[in-house]
């Protein structure tokens, strides 16, 4: 990302993107790609990508989103084709933008590719999207596309910059200098447009990095520290297996010396398994086995502990990262962990629904249908997210109302077939009037 000074030069004013947030986004991006500072010594276990994939998969699984306008719905459904993979990165970096393009396509831009300039009531009303081009090892171009809601409508500005170094903004140059950008207007305003022409998603996590309205990673804060510990613990496990490989120390008298090459060897024996050694302490012993005891159980228990701490920190359920059989959990603890995940995914879905509503408006704007009547219907029907206790209570109400038969309820919740469930139902008490000897 550009430095704070370059961003201020590009925008001409202070932005919501602080230096602390820039550093945080760069760290989250490095973690997602397995290039965190500690990964030089402890290779990444891929926990970050797994967390984001789990949340994205569940958040949009069985999502039913459609627009009641045929042409607009067709464009909208096409835009959703890349939602899952890009939402994963948006969850990792804290936010993302979906921007419609002329011709019906959309562009997904994550936090490394845009600068939030201003928010109003939590909504993004001013931002700069950045496009980069490399012409050669000493020619780097950047295009800053600013979208801003003003009292006169929506204003879009384009500026181009040239630099001899990557990551530097450099000096401003005419848009015409870059062929692909020559047709972009330097500035254009759409009077009467009172919404942004793009959609903005951010994670439902409180920003404890700098307190701004900018989105933060799902694994920010304490979770990042636990992920680092897990990567280091994973490296310890790998070293335990590598250092514990069986070897046999061989006295030099048992080795075959090659006079031509000056090397030594032992016929028909695995090179990795045998090591030359001058065993002076026992001249009668030519071979000695090296086979240390493994301590992997202790290391793996530590790794499982870190996994569970990460699950708690990011809002996953027990067993999503950790081994569900590694530690006994009570039914209450399991239910609480599922509820925690349900709440986190529901919050992501709420923010995603708002984002998709903004996307429909933006698509309508770019396709001259902004004044057309249309409605977005977006629901999330996912059995994985359903709270078990809430579903069970609903089924009980259905039985009491006569909508569901008692044997159906028992078959579902007690794992019985319908015939067994019906046979196991308690006998119904006879009505009071039937027990009276009325003549």
pLDDT of residue 127: 96
Whether 130 and 144 have beta carbons less than 8 Å apart is answered as: yes
| pLDDT value of residue 380 | 84
Gap between the Cα atoms of 316 and 344, Å rounded: 8
CA-nearest of 356, 358, 324 to 338 is: 324
- Distance in angstroms (rounded) separating the CA atoms of residues 426 and 174: 83
Give the pLDDT of residue 269: 45
Question: In the numeric block, which tokens belong to residue 267?
Answer: 């016929």
Residue closest to 129 by CA, chosen among 11, 214, 258, 229: 11
Q: How does strand 171-173 pair with strand 153-163?
A: antiparallel
Query: What is the model's pLDDT at position 171?
Result: 94
Rounded to the nearest angstrom, the gap between the alpha carbon of residue 344 and the centroid of all alpha carbons in its chain is 13
Among 223, 220, 243, 219, smallest CA distance to 299 is for 243
Low-confidence ranges of the chain (pLDDT < 50): 267-270, 273-274, 276, 432-433, 438
Contact 399, 406 (CB under 8 A): yes
**Strand, coil or helix: 413:** helix
> What pLDDT does 331 receive?
65
Q: Which residues of 397-409 are buried (b: 16+ CB within 10 A; e: fewer)?
A: eeeeeeebeebbb
At residue 346, φ and ψ (nearest 5 deg) are: -60, -40
Q: CA-CA distance, 350 to 344, in Å (whole number)?
A: 10
| CB distance 94 to 394 below 8 Å | no
- Residue 230 belongs to what H/E stretch? helix 222-243
Burial of 354 (0-12, 13-18, 19+ CB in 10 A): middle
Instruction: Give buried/exposed letters for 21-60 (b at 16+ CB in 10 A, else e).
Output: bbebbeebbebbeeebeebeebebbebbbebbbbbbebbb
Beta strands in 216-258 (DSSP E): 247-251, 256-257
pLDDT, position 85: 94
d(CA 29, CA 32): 5
Domain ranges (residues) in the chain = 4-222+343-380, 223-326, 388-427
Q: What is the pLDDT of residue 158?
A: 96
Tell whether pTM > 0.85: no
**For residue 94, how many other CB atoms are within 10 A of its CB?**
24
Dihedral angle of Cα 393, 399, 402, 407, to the nearest 10 degrees: 150
């Amino acid at each position: 990302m550009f430095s704070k000074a370059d961003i201020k030069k590009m925008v001409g004013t202070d932005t919501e993107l602080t230096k602390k947030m820039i550093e945080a986004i760069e760290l989250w991006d490095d973690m997602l790609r397995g290039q965190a500072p500690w990964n030089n010594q402890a290779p990444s276990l891929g926990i970050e990508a797994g967390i984001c994939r789990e949340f994205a998969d569940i958040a949009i699984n069985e999502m039913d989103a459609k627009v009641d306008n045929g042409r607009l719905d067709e464009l909208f459904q096409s835009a959703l084709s890349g939602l899952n993979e890009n939402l994963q990165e948006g969850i990792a970096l804290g936010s993302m933008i979906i921007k419609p393009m002329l011709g019906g396509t959309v562009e997904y831009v994550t936090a490394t590719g845009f600068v939030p300039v201003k928010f109003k009531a939590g909504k993004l009303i001013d931002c700069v999207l950045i496009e980069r081009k490399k012409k050669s090892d000493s020619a780097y171009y950047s295009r800053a596309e600013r979208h801003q809601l003003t009292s006169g409508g929506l204003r879009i500005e384009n500026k181009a910059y040239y630099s001899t170094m990557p990551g530097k903004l450099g000096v401003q140059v005419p848009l015409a200098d870059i062929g692909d950008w020559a047709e972009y207007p330097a500035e254009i305003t759409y009077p009467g447009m009172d919404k942004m022409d793009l959609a903005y998603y951010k994670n439902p996590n409180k920003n404890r990095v700098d307190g701004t309205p900018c989105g933060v990673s799902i694994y920010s804060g304490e979770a990042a520290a636990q992920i680092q510990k897990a990567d280091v613990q994973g490296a310890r496990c790998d070293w335990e297996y590598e250092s514990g490989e069986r070897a046999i120390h061989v006295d030099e008298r048992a080795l075959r010396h090659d006079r031509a090459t000056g090397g030594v060897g032992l016929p028909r024996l695995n090179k990795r398994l045998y090591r030359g050694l001058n065993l002076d302490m026992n001249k009668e012993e030519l071979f000695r086995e090296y086979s240390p005891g493994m301590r992997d159980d202790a290391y793996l228990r530590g790794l499982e502990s870190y996994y569970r701490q990460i699950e708690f920190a990011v809002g996953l359920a027990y067993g999503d990262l950790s081994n569900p059989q590694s530690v006994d959990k009570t039914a209450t603890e399991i239910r609480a962990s599922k509820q925690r995940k349900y709440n986190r995914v529901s919050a992501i879905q709420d923010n995603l629904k708002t984002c998709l509503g903004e996307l429909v408006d933006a698509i309508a704007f770019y396709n001259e249908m902004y004044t057309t009547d249309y409605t977005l219907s977006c629901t999330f029907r996912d059995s994985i997210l359903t709270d078990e206790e809430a579903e069970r209570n609903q089924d009980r109400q259905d039985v009491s109302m006569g909508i569901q038969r008692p044997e159906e309820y028992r078959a579902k919740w007690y794992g019985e077939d319908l015939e067994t469930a019906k046979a196991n139902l308690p006998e119904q008490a006879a009505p009071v009037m039937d027990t009276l000897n009325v003549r």
